[in-house]
Structure 1
C-alpha cells in the first residue's frame, strides 16, 4: 500500500473506529495515541485471516498449518528488522511488550549465569537513568539494585523539559545507561548520540526505551549508537501483547536467557541445558504468534505511508497545537514549547482545575479522548511539583480540526470552573 502524498482523510478511512459515533452523536476525537494507537483494517484483517485459516503453533509442527504459521511469524521478524534498520533479523527478539524487553535486559545484570564482565554487578557499580522515565524504565533498575547492592543514579530534567545532561554522571563505575529516546510526557527527544558516546568511553552499555519514537519517526537502530532498543507494538498501529527488543548480536549472545522453557533450548539433560541461538534463546514457550504477525502488518502499513511523511505530518500538528494552546488562559505546558527535538506529545495543566476534571469534561461533552494522570511517570511530575497532567498525543490519523476541538473544549472547561 502506497499513498501518493500524505492524505490524512484517506488514512482515516483505514481506521474503522473513526466511522463510529459516540453517545449523543458526538464524533470521536482521539488524542491518546501516546497511550495506545488505533488499528487500521489492514492489521485487523491480517490477524483475523491468520486466526481463521493459518493458525498453528510455530517452530514445532511439521504439517502445512505449522509451516504457514512459522513462516508468517518469522516473516514478521524480517519486516521489523527492516523497519528499524537492524543489521540482522537475529537481533530482533519478540517480547510481550516494551516493559518485558526492559526487564529482560535488567535481568542480565548481576545474574550468576552472566559470565561477561559487562554484566557483573555489585556494590560500587552504577546504573544511570533519567528523571523523565516511564515506570517501566525505573522499577526494573530499582529491583536490580535491591538484588545486587549497586547504585542507581539519574539525570535531572530542566525547567523547559529537556534532559539535564551531565556527562560526569557517567563514570568508570557505570555499567548501563538506560533512557527514553522520546519522553512519553514531555515529548522531548533526548540527545542519544552524546549519551552513548560518553557511555561507551567508559565501557558502559546503552539501552533506549523507544516506545514513543519508533511509531513516529524514522529510526535506524544501527545508527543510534545504542546497544539495545526496546519498543512496543500497540503504539504503532499494531496489536497489544507484542513488543520488541533489538540488540547488537554480540551483546544478545552474551546475555543469559530470561525465561526457560520450550523452543529456547538446544538440548536438555536432567542436570543441565544448552540454549538456542539468538533470538530464540529469549523466546521461551508459545510466543504471541498472531500478535507478531499483526505487528508485521503494522510495519507494512507504516512503511506504505512512509515514516518521513508520518513525522512531517506530526510536526505540522505539533506546531499548530503549540500555537493554539498558547491562547488558552491559565494553561501551563509541561515540556518544550518549541519544535526543536520534540515529538507530538503535549502535556499541560490548567490553573485551578484538576486534570481528571479536564479529561472528563472533554470526553463527556466534546468526544475528545485525552489521557490524564501521571502517565506512569510519577517522578517527573514530582519534579515539576504537580500531581498530574492532561496529555494530548498525536498520530498520523489526526487533523488540525481535532486540535481545534481540543482547544474549544479547554475554553469550555475554564468557563465551567470560572
Structure 2
C-alpha cells in the first residue's frame, strides 16, 4: 500500500515553512523536489569521488568514470534503449532539443517541412524556427481544440512527402494533456519522417519504452524526476546519432586532432564535448532508482486520484475555469478566476505558503489560443496529499474574496 506520509519524510524541504505557513509545493511541473537519497549521492560524490572522468589513470578519475557510466546504463535500462551509447547526457531537455535541431541543419533543405504541435513548450518551438531560418524549411503546426487536445485529423492533412521531422511533447506542461504519441510516431514513419518526443513532463509520471514506441529521439530532464537541475538526456536511435554531426567541439568528443583535420569520437562521446555535469549524471541515475523503487504504476494511480480530487474541489468555486479538460491528462490543473489576473492569485497563495506557477508557462501560443494572459497552474506529485489540495482550495477562495 502506498504510504504518502512515509514518502514525504524522504523530502527535507517539505517540512519547511514559507511565510510562516507549512509549505504546500504545487509547482512540480517546473521542478520536482529532491529526496534525501539523491541528496546523499550528491554529497557522497563531492566528498569521496570528485574528479574529471574518462581521462585520468588515477583512482579517483576511474571511480568517478565508473559511477557516471553506471548512471548512463541505469538511464538506458529505464527508457529501454537498445544500447547505452544511444543515451547522450546533456544539460537538460532544451540542450537535447537544440542538439538535434543543430544536427538537422546539415540534412534539411529548402522546401522541406517540419511539424510541431500547438501544445509545445517554447523549447520545442524556437529551435525549430531557428532551424527553418537556417535551412529554408517550413514549419507546420498541428492545431488544438478547446479541450486542449491536438486535432489529429489536421495532423493527417499536414503529413506529406515533404515532411522530414515531427516534434511533439508527450505531455503538455501547461495543460497536462497526454498526447497520442504512438499514433503520431506511426503515421510520421509511414511517410519517412523522423520523430522527436519531448518527454520533460511525461517522465515524472510515465515510464516510456523508446523501443516499443519506435521513436527516433526522446528527451528528458532530471530535475522533473526528483533529480538535480542542469542535467538531462537525449535518447537517439544509433543510426540517427551516427548521421548527425557533433553539436559542440572540444575535449572528449574527438578521436584525433591535428591542425589539418580532426576525427570524432564514437557514440556517445561524439555529442559530449567538455567536462560534463558528472555529479548531476550520477544523481540522475540515483533519482531514477528512487522513483522505480516506488513504482511508476503506483505513482500514476496515486497522482490520478489527486487530479480527480483537486478538479472536483476547485470546480466547486464559482467563477473558476479550468483550461485543459482532456480525458487523457496527468496531474496538472491550469485555471483562472473570472476577472482576476493569475499573477495576483499566485501572489496571495504564496503568502499562504502555497507554491504554484503563474503566467504562460513558456507556452504562449496556448494562452493566445484561449485569449488569456496566462493561468494559475497547480501541478501535483506523488508526495503531495489531498489535505494539501484542501489548503489550496481554501487559498483560492481567500484570493477570490480579496481580489473580487
Task: Give the TM-score category using the shorter length.
Answer: over 0.9
| Counterpart residue number, 1:136 | 123
User: Are 2:323 and 2:335, in contact at CA under 8 Å, matched by a contact in 1?
Assistant: yes
Residues 232-282 of structure 1: CA deviation (Å, up to 9, x unaligned): 010100000101000111111111111111111111121211111111110
Match of 1:389 among 375, 381, 402: 375
User: Are 1:128 and 1:178, in contact at CA under 8 Å, matched by a contact in 2?
Assistant: yes
User: Are 2:172 and 2:178, in contact at CA under 8 Å, matched by a contact in 1?
Assistant: yes
Question: Counterparts in 2 of 1:32-51, with a 5 A limit?
Answer: 32-51=27-46
Match of 1:105 among 92, 100, 103: 100
| Counterpart residue number, 2:394 | 408
User: Are 1:101 and 1:245, in contact at CA under 8 Å, matched by a contact in 2?
Assistant: yes
Distance in 1 separating the partners of 2:105 and 2:394: 53
User: Are 1:192 and 1:225, in contact at CA under 8 Å, matched by a contact in 2?
Assistant: no
| Counterpart residue number, 1:146 | 133
| Counterpart residue number, 2:6 | 10
Match of 1:360 among 337, 342, 347: 347
1:370 counterpart = 2:356: yes
Q: SS in structure 2 opposite 1:177?
A: strand
How far off is 1:23 after superposition? Answer: 2.9
Distance in 2 separating the partners of 1:19 and 1:193: 40
How far off is 1:221 after superposition? Answer: 1.3
Distance in 2 separating the partners of 1:345 and 1:281: 37
Distance in 2 separating the partners of 1:283 and 1:20: 38
Q: SS in structure 2 opposite 1:157?
A: coil
Distance in 2 separating the partners of 1:385 and 1:95: 35
Q: SS in structure 1 opposite 2:223?
A: coil
Q: SS in structure 2 opposite 1:383?
A: helix
Distance in 1 separating the partners of 2:160 and 2:249: 34
Residues 282-319 of structure 1: CA deviation (Å, up to 9, x unaligned): 00000010000110110110011111111111111111
| Counterpart residue number, 1:124 | 111
| Counterpart residue number, 2:148 | 161
Distance in 1 separating the partners of 2:114 and 2:19: 49
How far off is 1:151 after superposition? Answer: 0.4
How far off is 1:225 after superposition? Answer: 2.9
RMSD, aligned CA? 0.9
Stretches of structure 2 lacking an aligned partner (at least 5 in a row): none
Q: SS in structure 1 opposite 2:197?
A: strand
Q: SS in structure 1 opposite 2:22?
A: coil
Residues 81-103 of structure 1: CA deviation (Å, up to 9, x unaligned): 11111121111100001000000
Question: Counterparts in 2 of 1:308-327, with a 5 A limit?
Answer: 308-327=297-316
| Counterpart residue number, 1:262 | 251
How far off is 1:22 after superposition? Answer: 2.1
Count residues with an aligned counterpart: 402
| Counterpart residue number, 2:68 | 73
How far off is 1:333 after superposition? Answer: 0.7
| Counterpart residue number, 2:87 | 92
Q: SS in structure 2 opposite 1:163?
A: coil
Distance in 1 separating the partners of 2:296 and 2:147: 28
Distance in 1 separating the partners of 2:210 and 2:22: 38
| Counterpart residue number, 1:181 | 170
Distance in 2 separating the partners of 1:110 and 1:71: 34
User: Are 1:86 and 1:222, in contact at CA under 8 Å, matched by a contact in 2?
Assistant: yes
Q: SS in structure 1 opposite 2:373?
A: coil
How far off is 1:198 after superposition? Answer: 1.2
Stretches of structure 1 lacking an aligned partner (at least 5 in a row): 112-119
Runs of 4 or more consecutive aligned structure 1 residues displaced over 6 Å after TM superposition: none
In the superposition, the TM-score normalised over structure 1's length comes to 0.95
Distance in 2 separating the partners of 1:83 and 1:184: 22
| Counterpart residue number, 1:347 | 334
Residues 337-375 of structure 1: CA deviation (Å, up to 9, x unaligned): 5xx3211111111101000000000110x2110000000
Q: SS in structure 2 opposite 1:162?
A: coil
Distance in 1 separating the partners of 2:349 and 2:19: 13
User: Are 2:17 and 2:353, in contact at CA under 8 Å, matched by a contact in 1?
Assistant: no
